[in-house]
Chains A and B, each alone.
Chain A
Amino acid sequence: MVTQFHKIRRFALILMLFWTAGITFSFLWFYSHEQRTVVAIARAEARATYEKDTLYRRWATRHGGVYVPASEFSPPNPHLTHVEERDVTTPSGKALTLVNPAYMTRQVFELADSQDNLVRGHITSLKPIRAENKPDPWEAKALRLFETGVTEVSEVQDMGGRSYMRLMRPFVTEAPCLKCHATQGYRIGDIRGGISASVPMEANSAMMGEVITGAAVSHGLIWFLGLGLIGTGARVLGRSARAIEEREERYRTVADYTEGWEYWQGPDHSFRYVSPSCLELSGYSREEFYADPELLHRIVHPEDRTSYEQHVRDSFCGVPNPLDFRIIRKDGEVRWIAHTCRLVYTGSGAENGIRGSNRDITERKLASEALREQAFLLEKEVRERMEREAELEAKNAELERFTYTVSHDLKSPLITIKGFAGAVLKDIEGGKLDRLGGDVGRIMGAADKMSALLSDLLELSRIGRIVNAPSLIDMNLLVKDVLGQLGGPIQQAGVEVMVQPGLAEVWGDQPRIGEVLQNLVENAIKYRGDQQKTRIEIGMRESAEGPVFTVQDNGIGVPAQYHETIFGLFNQLDARSEGTGIGLALARRIVEFHGGRLWVESEGAGGGSTFCFTLGTGPQNPLETGIKGIKGIKGIKAL
């Protein structure tokens, strides 16, 4: 892995190389520049020397040469034999000889040559009059160049193991020159030869050597300083980079190796950080989340999206309540997620998005789902058991009441029978026969009552025990049947019976519902009172509980305080009325067995009464309840 630290080191190395190259280049440039300067100075010196030489020579030429005492040092010039008065004698007898300009120049040059560090001169020509004046190879080359029009040639040359700046200019024939050189065929303006000046380079070179040494030293120092700075900078940078890397590794280790799916969303909702564990949980890689800020939003289960959106809005407003929601993984699997988040702030305290944590709680959710299901079943079982217990309790209470009333009501006729039998016997003994008929009548009445009671009790005990298969009952037909069976009593009592057409069809135990109707109609006849025209209306009305069937009469009515009493076993409002007091209790039991209700509505005494009943959902069917239970369980399982 290329770390920041290594990058910095490599960069420093490259920087050092460039620095070295730069310093080297600078030094080389300086060196070459210095060299050029030295040459230019030498050339200027040579040029100045040349100008001076030419000036002296021109002076000599203008005078047509100068006379000097003839001596060993200056013998008469053998090449001037053709010149008149080459040698003259002064009146005092001193011998003078003519020194022509070239001769003079040569003598000066020879004088210079004898001295080591003077600028050396040399006069030369491709056609020298004097053999010693013939050019060396460099001069010959320069002279040839002059003939092509070049006016100055200069170059650093080695001569006799020493370095010289050599400069040469052409020597143009002028009028005074022809005095000596006309014989050679030169005309004015011809290039007759050249004068060279050679400046020894040693002094300049020595000076240059010093400058170069100084430059080398200063360049070296700057180079070294630069290297030191780069090295130190690299080290300092490297150290801080390493510190940053260590810190980053610490945070990365903490953030990347989390069990849950952690992330940081900026204020613009884009993902600034997503832990790699998102792949395991969602099936999507962190890169996909970075690329698409809407991705998380999209994978939220459609049913949870509204609450999730609300949560996101709340969270960015600073109210981050935890939320459980479902996501749909990349592979389509649904997972439960427990999500918590909080606002985060920059170092300066500005809001900087939210930091979220998602944990997979699918297993826990399923387990709690299963637990809830079990709890529900258990609760249901407990409820059912309690219902059964309550039912049992009610049955026990009913049984107790039943045995109580039975013992009372069955004993009652017995007392009558035995009492009047005793009275009859006593009367017979006493010969009092006038009361006999009545007393025997009472005995028989009591016996009849007992018989009726017994048969009603038998009937009552059958309800719930003997169940006819439920069927769809056409109430119109059933009412018609019942009225047919009661045709005798109805006619006897002169009762007018009206039946509302179009009664509903109901589901139930037909013979029992028939008994209910029969009981209610019989009751209406029995308690019709003393009026002339008794009317019974059988009808129906709709209600929330389904159809309500009504049997209405204009008889004696039931005062409000007895609206419930009349349905009790053996309860009769009028002791003198025929019947056992079981009828309404029986009817109510049948209706309740069907899941319905039976009640009375009456204005009170003389106001007539309306007996109403509903039939609920029909008689309880164990099979049906079973199916309902299974459906309930399935409903819970669906996630």
Chain B
Amino acid sequence: MIEGEPLCILLVEDNPDHAELAIRNLSDAGLANHLFHVEDGEAALDYLNNRGRYADQNAYPRPHLVLLDLRLPKVDGIEVLKQVKASEQLKAIPVVILTTSAAERDLAQAYNNYANSYLTKPVDFDSFSNLLRDLGFYWLAWNRRPVS
């Protein structure tokens, strides 16, 4: 938009309500035109690696940003983060942890595994809306990305 480039976000969130809230806020901010939502860690890894049902690279493009919840069914959020950062192809993608947990342990674990940012979901609706809008602008508008 600002640079006239289609921006792509991968939202990894198992709670459908939270996912709905995030999508709604991001689309209100005009950031959800290329948003893909998966519900567990396994699906996220499949998407990023274009495996299984996400094999079509055109339909499921490489995201510019990953919003990752920590507590996920099947494969845990931290495990997803580890695999992304261990992969030569994927480690450049910014991964922002978006979780309900404010636990020190989660924070440390996330940064130790090279998370790009760690955000706690605010309980307050307005704060949640502002956070997602700012997040979108920061990573997709202000932040400069490497040329892929």
Contact = CB atoms under 8 A, between A and B. Distances in A.
Interface string B113-148: 000000001111110110000000000000000000
A215 interface: no
A411 interface: yes
Contacts, number: 72
Nearest to A412: B100
B15 interface: yes
A561 to B, nearest CB: 8
B74 interface: yes
Interface in A560-598: 562, 570-576
A418 B121 CA distance: 11
Given A573-B73, A576-B16, A418 B103 contact: no
A423 interface: yes
Given A408-B71, A422-B125, A575 B21 contact: no
Nearest to B76: A565
A502 to B, nearest CB: 39
A193 B48 CA distance: 185
B26 to A, nearest CB: 13
Interface size range on A against B: 20 to 34
A422 B73 contact: no
A523 to B, nearest CB: 15
Q: Is the interface of A mostly helix, strand, loop or mixed?
A: helix
A418 B39 CA distance: 22
Contact of A418 (B15, B73, B99, B124): B124
Interface in B15-39: 15-18, 20-21, 24, 39
Contacts of B21: 415-416, 419-420, 423
Interface in A384-422: 404-405, 407-408, 411-412, 414-416, 418-422
B14 A442 contact: no
A8 to B, nearest CB: 104
Interface of B: 14-18, 20-21, 24, 39-40, 71, 73-74, 99-103, 105, 121-126, 128-129
Interface of A: 404-405, 407-408, 411-412, 414-416, 418-423, 425-426, 442, 445-446, 562, 570-576
30 contacts: A404-B101, A404-B105, A407-B101, A407-B103, A408-B100, A408-B103, A411-B123, A412-B100, A414-B123, A415-B122, A415-B123, A416-B15, A418-B128, A419-B18, A419-B21, A419-B128, A420-B17, A420-B21, A421-B125, A422-B124, A422-B126, A425-B125, A442-B17, A446-B17, A562-B74, A572-B73, A573-B73, A574-B73, A575-B14, A575-B15
Given A420-B21, A422-B125, 8 more contacts: A405-B71, A408-B100, A408-B103, A412-B15, A412-B18, A414-B123, A422-B129, A562-B74
